[in-house]
Structure 1
Amino acid sequence: MRIGQQGRPDAVIFDMDGTLFETDKLLIPVHGRVFGTLREEGLYMEEAPPAERLLGCLGMLLDDIWREIMPGSTEAARSRADELLLQYELEGLAAGEGALYPHVGETLRKLKESGAKLFVASNGLEHYVKGVAEHKGIALLFDGIYSAGEYETASKVDLVARLLQDHQLGSQHSVWMVGDRSSDVEAGRGNGLATIGCAYARYGRASELADADVRISDFRELLQLRL
């Protein structure tokens, strides 16, 4: 982990769900629609899992999520769930559903103005991750939006490594990884980055952020950090 000039970062990599985007405001209604359609199509006839279980799996790869919350499901059901989730999420975003966490937009702009390059690295589907950024008016602030869905990476460690390589962010740069789940902390530590855990998110266990270098309870705290 390299210390940047006066402790400020050269680049900051953000997770999306639970970090920038308050996902439950979109995902809870989408969850009901997905399982309703799966039942109508005869692909998954078990009782739908609680939406909280789906929210608790955010940060995992999608196939792992479906295997976790739809045990015994077929590959066809999981594939269709992927399609429906993306379709209903994009429809919800277009209708104005979902919201950024408080102060995200203004804080990202101030970080950008300070000279930091900004990125997203998410385990979600490409069109969903980019759709959130576009519909919520923050897409142009990022130098790159990376998703496991686009790059087909096996872990967030690999996804962040790809991002760093593409943008020539080496050991001579100060780069922060910001996220709310253990996968974000692992991605940062696995690539030698400073890690910042978002304790305001409600989707994971507090213990997931135990190994983060810093934990924040308000997004604006990023502007005061010196790592």
Structure 2
Amino acid sequence: MIQSFIFDMDGTLFQTDSILELALDDTFEHLRSIDKWNSATPIEMYREIMGVPLPIVWETLMPNHSMEERELADAYFLERLLEKIRNGNGALYPDVTEVFTYLTENSCSIYIASNGLIDYLEAIVNYYRLDRWVTEIFSIEHVESLNKSDLVRSIVQKYGITNGAVVGDRLSDINAAKDNGLLSIGCNFDFAREDELAQADVVIDDLIELKKIIHSES
């Protein structure tokens, strides 16, 4: 039986698309208003790289801008995201609370490992009261390498996890599981890619499927 579950946040627990495009558009509208951007919001480009750490996001979306300008965009974007989360504009994926309750009732520990920033993750956890089930939140800010495998390794080492699974929608989550000897569970949700999911040990279309997977061997 799997004893520990490490969840990604964006595109796995939290329906990021419910606030992402709004916050991104707000950010680039702000950049246009201060003459730091003169074209459309690169939403499609962001979708292509969804899930990577934010420093890489801004390097990709704003390759010809200075570090200072990228940091300006990053700070503004984060504020808009936090505002929308606290206003209740976001949403969890279906069955998150039911699954979390089931896992904890079956003596499983739950962790979150995300490429999101600490303030962002805490805003989601606090608004939806996920701390009722989650042992600890781990942000990519906690590892110097900005590598998801290293982040998951820090959880494994801290809590002595030997029989666990990583649940996420992107290749970085799948690789993080494999690199740490854990079961990789790919989520076929909004931002998932078929070629990446093909590398997962198990693929689910709904989190409720974890209620059966919990009793499998990792």
Q: Considering the TM-score relative to the shorter chain, is it more than 0.5?
A: yes
CA distance 1:140–1:109, change in 2 (3 Å): same
How many residues are aligned here?
Answer: 215
Residue 22 of structure 2 is aligned with which of 29, 36, 50?
29
Amino acid at match of 1:12: F
Match of 1:178 in 2: 167
Q: Is the CA contact 1:179–1:197 (under 8 Å) kept in the aligned structure 2?
A: yes
Match of 2:68 in 1: 76
TM-score normalised by length of structure 1: 0.90
Secondary structure in 1 aligned to 2:104? helix
Q: Give the secondary-structure state (helix, strand or coil) at the position aligned to 1:12.
A: strand
Alignment partner of 2:2: what SS?
coil
> Compared with structure 1, are the counterparts of its residues 131 and 152 closer, same or farther at alpha carbon in structure 2 (3 Å cutoff)?
farther
Shift of 1:150: 4.0
Alignment partner of 1:176: what SS?
strand
Once residues 31 and 192 of structure 2 are traced to their aligned partners in structure 1, the CA distance between those partners, rounded to angstroms, is 26
Q: What is the RMSD computed on CA atoms of the aligned residues?
A: 1.4
C-alpha contact 1:157 1:191 (8 A) present in aligned 2: yes
Note if contact 2:24-2:41 (Cα within 8 Å) is conserved in structure 1. no
SS in 2 for 1:13: strand
Where do 1:119-158 residues align within 5 Å?
119-158=111-150
Amino acid at match of 1:71: P
State the SS of the aligned residue for 1:100: coil
Instruction: Evaluate the alpha carbon distance shift between residue 153 and residue 73 of structure 1 in structure 2; reply closer, same or farther with a 3 A threshold.
Output: same
Any conservation in 1 of the 2:25–2:41 contact (CA below 8 Å)?
no
TM-score normalised over the length of structure 2:
0.93
Alignment match of 1:223 (pick from 208, 211, 217): 211
Q: Are positions 1:38 and 2:26 aligned together?
A: no
Question: Aligned match of 2:84 in 89, 92, 96?
Answer: 92
3-state SS of the aligned residue for 1:154?
A: coil
| Secondary structure at 2:64 match in 1 | coil
Write out per-residue CA displacement over residues 69-94 of structure 1, whole angstroms, 9 at most, x where no aligned residue: 22212211211122112111111011
1:193 aligns with 2:182: yes
1:139 & 1:85 partners in 2: Cα distance?
Answer: 25
Which residue type is aligned with residue 9 of structure 2? M
Secondary structure of the residue aligned to 1:121 is strand
**Is the contact made by 2:49 and 2:57 (CA closer than 8 Å) also made in structure 1?**
yes
How far apart are the structure 2 equivalents of 1:164 and 1:119?
10
In the alignment, does 2:95 pair up with 1:103?
Answer: yes
Compare 108-117 and 202-211 and name the one that shifted more.
202-211
**SS in structure 1 of the partner of residue 75 of structure 2:** helix
Deviations 1:15-59 (A, max 9, x none): 0000001100011111111111122233x3231333233233222
* 8 A Cα contact 1:120 1:142, kept in partner: yes
> Which 10-residue stretch deviates more, 67-76 or 113-122?
67-76
Q: Following the alignment from structure 2 to structure 1, what is the Cα–Cα distance between the partners of residues 136 and 72? A: 28
The separation in 2 between residues aligned to 1:186 and 1:46, in whole angstroms, is 38
Distance 1:137 1:56 in 2: 30
Quick one: distance in 2 between partners of 1:209 and 1:124?
21
User: In the alignment, is the contact (CA less than 8 A) between 1:38 and 1:77 conserved in 2?
Assistant: no
Paired residues of 1:107 and 1:219 also in contact (CA < 8 A): yes
Deviates more, 1:212-221 or 1:54-63: 54-63
